[in-house]
Each structure stands twice: as C-alpha cells, then as structure tokens.
Amino acid sequence: MSKRYRLRKLLAPTAGFRKALGILVLGALIFAIGCGLSFHDVIEPALNWLEDVSRKSLAAVVPASQLDDATWLLGGACLFLGFYLIVRGFASALRHIMETINPDLRGGLVDVYRRRQQLAQGPRIVALGGGTGLSTLLRGLKQHSSNITAIVTVTDDGGSSGRLVQEKSIIPPGDMRNCLVALADAEKSMTDLFQHRFKKDSGSLSGHSMGNLLIAALVDQAHGDFEKAIEIASDVLAIRGRVVPSTLEHVTLRAVMENGVEVCGETKIVQSGLRIRRIFLAPDIPQPYKTALEAIEDADLICIGPGSVYTSIIPNLLVAGVAEALEQSKAKKVYICNVMTQRGESDAFSASEHITALQANVDRRIFDYVIVNTGSPSETARVKYGEAGQHLVDADIDRIRAMGYKVLVGDFMNEDDMVRHDPMRLAARLAALVER
C-alpha cells in the first residue's frame, strides 16, 4: 500500500498530462514523417527561396567580404529569437485562457497546477464520523489530498435536520452539509450561504440552515434521489473529495442506559443525563452505502473520529459490513480521541474509556493507532468548560498501550473559539503517518 502511494506521489506532476504528452509525441512523429516524405518537393524549395531572399536583403547592407559571417550570426539569432517568441506567446495565450476561465488564478499558475496535481495524487483517505469533529478534521485533510471520502452518520434527529427528516422524509442533511463546506474550494460567500442559519423570529424558517434547505430543494429536483442531490451540492461547492452517507436507509438511534431503560432518538439519548451502556440502530442491520465500502477497501489511511463516541462514531460502525470492511482493510487505521469530554455522552471519560466504549459496541479490531492530545487548555477555558460539565480528556497513554494499540501523542489542541482539535496540526500528523 505504501509503495503504491509513494509511486503515485512521485508521478503526481504528470498525472492527467501523460495522455496529452503521448498525443503530442505521436503528432510530432507523424509530422516528422510528413516532412521527410515531402522535403525535396515542398520544404527544400521553400527554404531555398527564403535563403535567397534573406541573402539578397543582407547583401544590400553588408559588404561582400563579411556576408558569410553575417549570414551565420543572423541565422543563429533568428533561431533563438523565434523559439523564444513561440514559447512566450504560447505561455501568454495559455495564461490568458486560464485567467479568463478562473480570475482567481491570476499569477502563480504553475504553482497552482503543481499543487492541484499533488493533491489529486495524494493518499486515499477515508474519514468516518459526524458532527463538528469530522468537519474540523476534513478542513485539515484537504490540504494534503483531494482523494478524501467522508462517511457521515445519518442518525441526527434534532434541529433543522430533524424537522426536514419529519417533513420531507429525507436523510438528515446537517452533518453532510458541514462536511461539504469543510471540503469546499468555492468562494467564501458561497460557503457562508450554506452555513447561514435563520434566526428564531423567522417564522417557519426559524432555526433552519440555508444549506439544509438547499439540499432538500436539490432532493426535490432530483425526484427524491439524495445521492444525486449531494453530487450537485458537491459540484456547486467544488469540494476536494466526496461526502457520502454510511447508509441511505432511515435509521433511528437506540440506547440502553445504565439503569436498563431503553431510549430512542439521538436527541433524547443525549438529553437523558444517564450513562450509556450500549448503542443500537433501528432497523438492526441497515444496508451500507456501496461507495462507502469501496472507499474503505481502497484507502491508504482511515480516520475514525474525532466526534461524539456514541452518536457520531459508533452509528457508522453498526451499519452492515462497515466494521468488517475496516477490519479487513490494509490501510493505516487511526482512532482520533476527543480533546474534551461531552456532557450526557462521555462524562469523565479518559482516552482509554473512549476506546472501551467502542470495543463494547463493535466486536472487531477496527484500528491500530490512537491519536491522543497532550496539550492543555488555558485556565479560563478550563473554568468555562467545567461549569458546563466538560473536562479535558485524560491522556492515559500507558493503559491504551496495554490494550494493544500504538499511541501517537502531541499538542493537537486549538482554542481560538472553542477547545477542539487544530485541523492543520492533526492533519499534518496523519499525513506523516501515511507516508512513513
């Protein structure tokens, strides 16, 4: 797998160019054959005529004794200048065409081309999860590859997504929207439009996300085809990679709590205030989205998390065939542990307890590496999160190693607006792992 990826990376600058180069070489060869066949009858007489005209013009201004030397010097100068002007004119025409197509490419066209080619031949990365954790990770990963497949959980039943599920009977679009925006190459005004949320005093639109409504509209235009709607949204946002659901079936999250009571629905589970013992899906074994399984099989790197362990990560793993595909994959498989605990879901969990929760619900070994944050938030952030019942996840590294996993540690924390993973540092560590 690593050798295959390294070969793709080595050939990255010529990807997509090799076919054009082959056509160019073939055309040049055919042209040379034509020149050879017609040289004496067409080309040689034309060259002799040009030579006679040039010599007569030169003889009018240069003494006869210096004519041969002047002819030689002028001929060399014309060859050099002509070649230079051809290259310069071709490059100028190409630049004008590219800038007309995309004004944002002004200047540095070679760098843009090289960068996009490198991304196109980057590692095949699969990221499983949901919520803000997955979208945060994707913002960093897209700087290293455009061969990204985000496999998104579809159990969200709250807020705008929940209302659209009930009213339009579509797959919850919220997490899909966040991932599309995270991978987008479109202008900021377009991504801002997708993320716009109507205020509470907006009548029937109150609380709705514009992106969710646009996806719902695309589903209508595609005659109920959710896959087609996501493809169109992906094209509109010019995303690097693709975003797919783990299943196209309508599924409901069920949980058995610590007191033995069963709670149905993601929102109710999180709001119950009880510790979760086990998570299920209804129907029990939903059929997987075929593209998701194919992406796992072809991957060089698979990232599980970060995100809510019970409501964002485990639901994907309970879809038929997903855990099996992860177990059989030859990719490097990494679980990215959360930075902070989550109230109502992972209260007081250490890093190893996150893994234990996964093992309790999935009876297969689905990853080999665990990324654990060892950075610490500021005292102000600690107090703020502590008041909300959230705390820094304890990095009990020795216990994780005792469980048989390889641990990757580092300060992967970002505290700009809230305490979460830093997408660039996290993605850089993952990229280094896949290239190792």
pLDDT in tens, 200-241: 888 889 999 999 999 999 999 999 999 999 999 999 999 999
Q: Which two tokens stand for residue 75?
A: 């001929």
Q: What b-and-e string marks burial along 25-51, b requiring 16 or more CB atoms within 10 Å of the CB?
A: eeeeeeeeeeeeeeeeeeeeeeeeeee
* Structure confidence by residue, pLDDT tens digits, 333-363: 999 999 999 988 888 899 999 999 999 999 9
In this model, does residue 105 exceed pLDDT 70?
no
Assess whether 81 and 145 both reside in one domain: no
> Is 234 a domain residue?
no
pLDDT, position 217: 96
Are the C-beta atoms of residues 236 and 186 closer than 8 Å to each other? Answer: yes
> Is 216 a domain residue?
no
Assess whether 262 and 301 both reside in one domain: yes
* Terminal Cα-to-Cα distance of the chain (whole angstroms): 11
Assess whether 250 and 111 both reside in one domain: no
Assess whether 34 and 141 both reside in one domain: no
Least confident range from 110-114, 179-183, 396-400, 426-430: namely 110-114
Assess whether 78 and 141 both reside in one domain: no
Task: For the chain, give the mean pLDDT.
Answer: 89
pLDDT, position 14: 58
d(CA 393, CA 414): 14
Of residues 326, 270, 267, 263, the one with CA closest to residue 293 = 326
**pTM for the full predicted model:** 0.81
Assess whether 133 and 38 both reside in one domain: no
pLDDT, position 52: 86
> Is 185 a domain residue?
no
Number of domains, the chain: 2
> Is 161 a domain residue?
no
**150: domain CATH number?**
3.40.50.10680
Highest mean pLDDT among 25-29, 167-171, 369-373, 418-422: 369-373
15 confidence band (pLDDT: 50, 70, 90): low
Instruction: Work out the number of other CB atoms within 10 angstroms of the CB of residue 239.
Output: 24
pLDDT, position 378: 92
pLDDT, position 4: 61
**Residue by residue, what is the 3-state secondary structure of the chain?**
CHHHHHHHHHCHHHCCCHHHHHHHHHHHHHHHHHHHHHHHHHHHHHHHHHHHHHHHHHHCCCCHHHHHHHHHHHHHHHHHHHHHHHHHHHHHHHHHHHHHHCHHHCCCHHHHHHHHHHHHCCCCEEEEECHHHHHHHHHHHCCCCCCEEEEECCCCCCHHHHHHHHHHCCCCCHHHHHHHHHCCCCCHHHHHHHHCECCCCCHHHCCCEHHHHHHHHHHHHCCCCHHHHHHHHHHHHCCCCEEEECCCCCCEEEEEECCCCEEECHHHHHHCCCCEEEEEEECCCCCCCHHHHHHHHHCCEEEECCCCHHHHHHHHHCCCCHHHHHHHCCCEEEEECCCECCCCCCCCCCHHHHHHHHHHHCCCCCCCEEEEECCCCCHHHHHHHHHCCCCECCCCHHHHHHCCCEEEEECCEECCCCCEECHHHHHHHHHHHHHC
Assess whether 96 and 127 both reside in one domain: no
Are the C-beta atoms of residues 370 and 400 closer than 8 Å to each other? Answer: yes
> Is 175 a domain residue?
no
d(CA 285, CA 280): 9
Assess whether 73 and 149 both reside in one domain: no
104 confidence band (pLDDT: 50, 70, 90): low
Q: Which two tokens stand for residue 230?
A: 């996501």
Assess whether 132 and 276 both reside in one domain: yes
Assess whether 287 and 371 both reside in one domain: yes
Amino acid at 37: L
Range of the domain at 273: 123-154+246-435
Least confident range from 44-58, 251-265, 387-401: namely 44-58
> Is 311 a domain residue?
yes
* Structure confidence by residue, pLDDT tens digits, 281-308: 999 889 999 999 999 999 999 999 999 9
pLDDT, position 321: 96
pLDDT, position 230: 96
> Is 408 a domain residue?
yes
Assess whether 16 and 148 both reside in one domain: no
Assess whether 143 and 10 both reside in one domain: no
> Is 336 a domain residue?
yes
